[in-house]
Amino acid sequence: MDPMTAHTPHAQTIRQQARLGVLRGHTSGLAGDHVQGNLVILPKAHADDFARFCELNPKPCPVLGMAAPGDFAFPALGKDIDIRSDLPMYRVWRNGVLSEEVADIRHLWQDDWVSFVIGCSFSFESALMDAGIPLRHVQQGKNVPMFKTHVPTQSVGVFQGPMVVSMRPMKPADAIEAVQITARLPRVHGAPVHIGLPHDLGIADLMRPDYGDVTEVLPEELPVFWACGVTPQAVVQQAQLPMVITHAPGAMLVTDLLNHQLMSH
């Protein structure tokens, strides 16, 4: 039996629940062994620049798939995917401003739209938990905290802006092991970009994330920061295109791919 299809019913069920509007929340901890993806949909006129932007910024923007203009299926990422309805929640950006969050974008769909699915940290989280590294936000049923940094991305055309990072508190020994594990997963952000001192990234207060939920860092722990797939949302805000669609933070596309298929050796 094909290893990809052996596990697909669970992933398909999650997408189906999103499509039916039953699942509206974040997908952290759902379908643990499946690759999850961030979403960016923008007009064809800007798609080549955005693809190049992702190429130059592989840590925050590792592309898992790019569809042809107008295509809303993603056969390489899963059976019967409809990118317009299969995420729990979408964000609609108009001229760089978040105008609404909706559970379905079929009514907005345009024939020149190009969809990008970008690797997501939820994929490496299952590898960390498999190794016995506890993740507090998952234990507490929260979304991971995410922060805008003062680290600039490599700009292309209208696409420029700060890198966004996600933060997980860890004991030092766990942090070292986490670096080794995630370094083998470059298509889902790879190794951390920073460990310790948040102000080195321009983060003033760990208790005030820009996205996601507050997660406490205990005295014996270090904050460990990974490049985050919400980076394109910060970049889209600055680009001020007439309309861009993204996932709502934490509300991902659950694909049929399995995390171990992305492991480099």
pLDDT score for 6: 47
Q: Please provide residue 174's backbone torsions phi and psi, each rounded to the nearest 5 degrees.
A: -70, -35
pLDDT tier, 21 (very low <50, low <70, confident <90, very high otherwise): confident
pLDDT tens, residue by residue, 194-230? 999 999 999 999 999 998 899 999 999 999 999 998 8
Show Cβ contacts of residue 181 under 8 Å, excluding neighbours closer than 6 positions. 124, 127, 128, 131, 133
When the candidates are 3.40.50.300, 3.30.2040.10, 3.40.50.2000, 3.30.70.1150, the CATH number that belongs to 1-21+32-260 is 3.30.2040.10
Beta strand 113-119 with 222-227: parallel, antiparallel or unpaired? unpaired
1-15, 25-39, 185-199: range with highest mean pLDDT: 185-199
pLDDT tens, residue by residue, 243-261? 999 998 888 899 998 887 8
Count Cβ atoms below 10 Å from residue 186 Cβ, excluding itself.
16
